């Protein structure tokens, strides 16, 4: 694999004009510093997004001319604002930060910016930011995830009834693979809001969304079943995410606007 850094921050000023072209793609990982129940660390979303983005770019970055921006740790986590230690930006602040990032990217020759989002609570706002940046700065903008959150149409293990959205089986499995020293499985408990399972519309991933805070579903603040998580499952999920993001970047590279 190529050994040259694909991190924009590692470049020197003259390198930007020499290396960044209208073919270049910038990737901005987005994480969060927020409670993840009693068993996972605050940096779960940040660690996952940064790892998957870094590994995908390591594999395909030179071929596709992809450059990594430093991960953004603080994002919109106010569904966890009740938990001391959660550090979050308001929606207004994060929208302004994302716009500032787009404005700065637009000063280079690159024309494409991908937000690689590890925290589902950011998704709607990043969708808004994508259009605002497109309009204000002319960039082509994209939103990708390590895995689509279950409440946004993604899947979770059947035993979680489609509601393993925060600190559940898959997220805990990934952390057991990436950072087992930060996971305390002795405190892991199942917490699935089974009363929502029979709802046709108003449920996680249903046609009718609802505003929620993580402690609406119990004092521990997680939603899912981490008790059956394994590092082996986590390794499989990470590899799938890396491959999928690499493939997505290939499509980003060939994507052009306007589309006829």
Give the CATH number, domain containing residue 131.
Answer: 3.40.50.10310
d(CA 119, CA 129): 15
Does residue 107 fall inside a structural domain? Answer: yes
- The pLDDT mean for the chain works out to 96
Calculate mean pLDDT across residues 99-115: 98
pLDDT above 50: residue 118: yes
pLDDT of residue 1: 37
pLDDT of residue 4: 80
Does residue 74 fall inside a structural domain? Answer: yes
- DSSP strand E in 131-255: where? 140-144
Phi, psi (deg, nearest 5) at residue 143: -125, 125
Calculate mean pLDDT across residues 238-253: 98
Does residue 172 fall inside a structural domain? Answer: yes
* DSSP letter assigned to residue 106: T
Residue (of 99, 161, 164) closest to 130 by Cα position: 99
The answer to whether 119 and 153 have CB atoms below 8 angstroms apart is no
Calculate mean pLDDT across residues 83-99: 98
pLDDT of residue 2: 44
The answer to whether 252 and 139 have CB atoms below 8 angstroms apart is no
Does residue 260 fall inside a structural domain? Answer: no
d(CA 118, CA 42): 13
Does residue 169 fall inside a structural domain? Answer: yes
Residue (of 12, 258, 260, 16) closest to 138 by Cα position: 258
Does residue 28 fall inside a structural domain? Answer: yes
Long-range contacts of 207-212 (CB under 8 A, 24+ apart): 212/79
Cβ neighbours for 28, distance < 8 A, ≥ 6 positions apart: 69, 71, 72, 101, 113, 114, 115, 116
Calculate mean pLDDT across residues 242-249: 98
pTM of the complete model: 0.96
Find the angle CA(83)-CA(88)-CA(93) to the nearest 5 degrees: 150
Phi, psi (deg, nearest 5) at residue 36: -130, 45
List, for residues 122-178, the tens digit of each pLDDT value: 999 999 999 999 999 999 999 999 999 998 989 889 999 999 999 999 999 999 999
> What's the total number of domains in the chain?
1
List, for residues 183-209, the tens digit of each pLDDT value: 999 999 999 999 999 999 999 989 999
pLDDT of residue 214: 96
Percent of the chain at pLDDT exceeding 90? 95
d(CA 222, CA 237): 20
Does residue 2 fall inside a structural domain? Answer: no
The answer to whether 26 and 112 have CB atoms below 8 angstroms apart is yes
Domain of residue 23: give its range. Answer: 8-254
Q: Which residues pair with 72 in a beta bridge?
A: 30
Does residue 1 fall inside a structural domain? Answer: no
List, for residues 6-30, the tens digit of each pLDDT value: 999 999 999 999 999 999 999 999 9
Cβ neighbours for 59, distance < 8 A, ≥ 6 positions apart: 1, 242, 246
Burial letters 150-178, b for 16+ CB under 10 A, else e: bbeebebbeebbbbbbbbbbbbbbbbbbb
pLDDT of residue 155: 87
d(CA 213, CA 79): 4
């Amino acid at each position: 694999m190529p050994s040259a850094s694909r991190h924009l921050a590692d470049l020197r000023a003259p390198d930007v004009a020499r290396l960044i072209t209208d073919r270049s793609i910038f990737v901005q990982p987005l994480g969060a510093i927020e409670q993840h129940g009693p068993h996972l660390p605050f940096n779960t979303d940040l660690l996952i997004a940064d790892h998957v983005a870094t590994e995908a770019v390591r594999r395909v970055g030179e071929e596709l001319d992809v450059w990594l921006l430093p991960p953004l740790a603080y994002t919109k986590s106010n569904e966890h604002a009740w938990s001391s230690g959660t550090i979050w930006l308001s929606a207004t602040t994060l929208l302004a930060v994302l716009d500032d990032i787009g404005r700065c990217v637009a000063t280079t020759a690159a024309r494409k910016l991908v937000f690689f989002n590890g925290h589902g609570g950011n998704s709607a706002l990043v969708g808004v930011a994508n259009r605002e940046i497109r309009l204000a700065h002319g960039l082509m903008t994209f939103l990708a995830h390590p895995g689509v959150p279950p409440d946004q149409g993604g899947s979770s293990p059947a035993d979680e009834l489609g509601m393993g959205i925060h600190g559940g089986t898959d997220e805990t499995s990934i952390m057991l693979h990436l950072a087992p020293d930060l996971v305390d499985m002795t405190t892991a408990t199942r917490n699935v809001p089974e009363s929502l399972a029979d709802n046709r519309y108003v449920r996680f991933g249903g046609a009718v969304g609802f505003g929620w805070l993580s402690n609406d579903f119990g004092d521990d603040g997680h939603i899912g079943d981490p008790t059956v998580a394994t590092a082996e499952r986590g390794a499989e999920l990470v590899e799938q995410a890396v491959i999928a993001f690499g493939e997505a970047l290939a499509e980003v590279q060939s994507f052009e606007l306007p589309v006829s």
